[in-house]
Structure 1
Amino acid sequence: MNICLYSSAFFPNIGGLEQVSYTLASYWSKQQHQVSIVTDTPATNEQNTSYIFPVIRCPNFESWKTILDKSDCIISNGYSLKHLAVWLLSRKPIIWIHPIYIPELFQDGQNSLTSLIKPLLRRMLLSLGAGHIYVSHAIEQQVGARKGVVIYNPVEDRFRPLPSVKIDNDFAFFGRMIPDKGVDTLLEALAICKSKSKMYKLDLYGEGSYIKELQQLALTLGIESQIRWYRFLRGEKLVQAMNAAGAVVVPSRWAEPMGIVAVEAMACGKAVIGSRWGGLGEVLEGYGMTFENGNAEQLAECMIQLKEHPDLQINLEKKAYERSHDFLIDTIGTKYLKIIESILKNR
């Protein structure tokens, strides 16, 4: 098959959507399908990465026509109105991947026509899709479109336990330094642990607009000596860092659609503590520890329980690794291919 995978954001940007698009495209290419990623993310001067599939950046209308003439289908990872006209003109089936929630039509604080029209148009897009894939049951329940199936995001097979890597901290966080990711909750929980004479080492891997505020918060809380700050990692360096973590915390304030970082950590055999709402809670239920989003007291209690009860941590590490098998790219990538083949067959 010739697959056009649209990813509104892609590398060198950092995020779950970018990673999932890369993982799917790589797997399908290795299965001898012709895959192109089309993205609105421009290249940067620092970018010199080559891929096993073509990446077309910021295409114009004519470029889109050329791409779609060669494609059997369009898979859109996310919602897009920007390129809808050329997609519809191509008459190729569109399969929507739903990686995030669609905003409700009416929300408190909406005060512009645009804020009302965009959610309405996004919901209208649902009727144009030949198929819908939700990355969690939480997304499925919120979107509620027909012709849909839940397929969790895949994890690359590079994420694996590395027994030779020494544990270098008590807890680690991997992700963007923005308010939604809840790093402030994690810092507050670390301070609560300190007040109970539990001095844990925390490594933070990530970048973002909120990092200076977080560093100031660490100073205010008096925990700066317990924290090390690192830039975000990719590839094998990220796998090494996850294996060096005593445990991984995913403290998101918002209801994560799924939480791919949690799955990557589980694939490395790590116990994971994560916030309870949304798809992240689905992933961790019965396989990790959860706390109410934004509740630093509950998070601190989870951290203390994990560190004070080694048998609990060993048990959770085993269960987490077993759970990660549900997200292997061989399994997830094949599910996608079966759906694409079925849609093309029944056109």
Structure 2
Amino acid sequence: MRVAIFAHRFLPETGGIEVTADVLARGFTTRHGAEVLVVTRNPAPAEFDATLPYRVLREPSPGELLAAVRGADVVFHNNALMQFAWAHLVVPRPWVVTMRAVLRVPGIPLSRRRKAVLHVKQRLIRRATVLAANSEMMSADIGGGAVVVHNSYRDHIFRTETRVEDRDRRRVAYIGRLSPDKGIDVLLRAVAGVGERGVPLHLDLVGSGEEETRLRTLATELGLRGRVEFHGALTGPQVNTVLNRAAVAVLPSVGLETFGTVVLEAQAAGCAVVASRIGGIPEALNGTGVLVEPGDVAALTEALHALATDDAAFAAAHRGREENVSAHRTEVMVDRYWELVQQAHRDGRVMVRR
């Protein structure tokens, strides 16, 4: 079967949507023998694409986009991509849409133009042959009724290489963008709070973003010089190394996360996880780890202190970790989405002019 995967952003960028598109493209190709073409708006060197086991079309012209749709048996939107959807009207094909980002961020007012765009996008995704979402929370955001397929983690990269009992429980890691919605300032204040209780923690921050300068300043103001290490952006294997040095990984988000794949990567690498009770994160943890309210410095401080000093609390945070990781292996997600691609192909419904 020929599958065109539409992805607004793609490798070599390393966000969740970008990585998931690669996982699906590889899985469809290697596990199910599909002929895959990834179509994306962001550029990359040709030599990078030559290393991939599938074809990539970047920054397509209108003619190239139409040819990509014409050559596909099924079109797969890895998050709804309006800029490419017009091609379905010209060259009708069965199409699958999986939603991975909320349509509207709560609390942010919409302009008249943005409201119109949102209305069009909502109608657009409802015309997909098959509509999926990466969490129950994401399905509810688009009005319900989507097939829920949880994200997987990259099990060929993230694994436990250092025994849990050999790790320093005072070593904590954060993996992700350095942006305001991630709540890293809350984490820094919590690390300082644990230190004030006589337990100095070491924090590894992996990622880049617009908050880096402010966070460096805040770390200094909180007296954390030498106890917070900014690693910048790292490759997957390098991230796995950082996680294997840590005993605890934290996702302190204050903004909506539709799933939170990083908590699975951290668990796969052997970390106990502390994360915000927001969006789809509780679904990703599925009763494992420790959940705290977003933005609650005191609660995060208490959780980190307990994991560093209380054997029972540390053991409880690991309970069910391996089972949760196993349930989110790459093949589980790939095979479920392949079933949806086959369903769309059998159904045959296409987008038509109305």
TM-score (norm 2): 0.91
Spell out the pairing of 1:3-14 with structure 2 (5 A cutoff).
Answer: 3-14=3-14
Larger RCO, structures 1/2 (Cα 8 Å, 6+ apart)? 2
Which residue in 1 is equivalent to 2:126? 127
Cα separation, 2, equivalents of 1:256 and 1:338: 26
SS in 2 for 1:278: coil
Q: Does 1:74 align with 2:75?
A: yes
- Over residues 97-129 of structure 1, what are the superposed CA-to-partner deviations in whole Å (9 max), with x where a residue is unaligned? 10011117x96533x322221211111112221
Which moves more between the two structures, 14-23 or 166-175?
Answer: 166-175
1:154 is aligned to 2:155: no
Contact 1:157-1:328 at 8 Å conserved across structures: yes
1:169-188 to 2 correspondences below 5 Å: 170-188=171-189
**Judging changes above 3 Å, is the alpha-carbon distance between structure 1 residues 74 and 45 closer, same or farther for their aligned structure 2 residues?**
closer
Range moving further from structure 2, 2-11 or 303-312 = 303-312
1:45-124 correspondence runs (5 A): 50-103=51-104, 109-110=109-110, 112-124=111-123
- CA drift of 1:205 comes to 0.6
Please, which runs of 5 or more residues in structure 1 have no aligned partner? none
| 5+ long unaligned stretches in structure 2 | 349-354
Q: Secondary structure at the match of 1:224?
A: coil
For 2:215, the equivalent position in structure 1 comes to 214
Cα distance, 1:314 vs. partner?
3.3
CA shift for structure 1 position 44: 5.3
1:12 Cα shift? Answer: 2.2
- Correspondence 1:1-347 to 2 at 5 A: 1-31=1-31, 32-43=33-44, 50-103=51-104, 109-110=109-110, 112-146=111-145, 148-158=146-156, 159-163=158-162, 167=167, 170-347=171-348
8 Å contact from structure 1 (residues 262, 272) kept in 2 = yes
- CA deviation after TM superposition for structure 1 residue 137, in Å: 0.7
Aligned residue identity for 1:121: V
Shift of 1:78: 1.4
| Distance in 2 separating the partners of 1:238 and 1:36 | 28
- Deviations, residues 191-246 of structure 1 (Å, cap 9, x unaligned): 11122222111111111111001101111111122111102222322222222211
Q: Distance in 1 between matches of 2:45 and 2:222?
A: 37
Counterpart of 2:352 in structure 1 is none
Q: Go from structure 1 to structure 2 and tell me whether the alpha carbon gap of 1:82 and 1:303 turns closer, same or farther (over 3 Å shift).
A: same
| Structure-1-length-normalised TM-score | 0.93
Q: Secondary structure at the match of 1:82?
A: helix
Following superposition, the deviation at residue 285 of structure 1 comes to 4.1
Cα distance in 2 for partners of 1:48, 1:116 equals 37
Please identify runs of 4+ aligned residues in structure 1 that moved more than 4 A.
44-49
Aligned equivalents of 1:46 and 1:63: distance in 2?
Answer: 20
* Cross-structure match for 2:351: none
- CA shift in 2, pair 1:55/1:339, >3 Å: same
Mapped to 2, the partners of 1:46 and 1:310 lie a distance apart of 50
Worse overlay, 232-241 or 244-253: 232-241
* Structure 1 residue 308, shift from structure 2 partner: 1.1
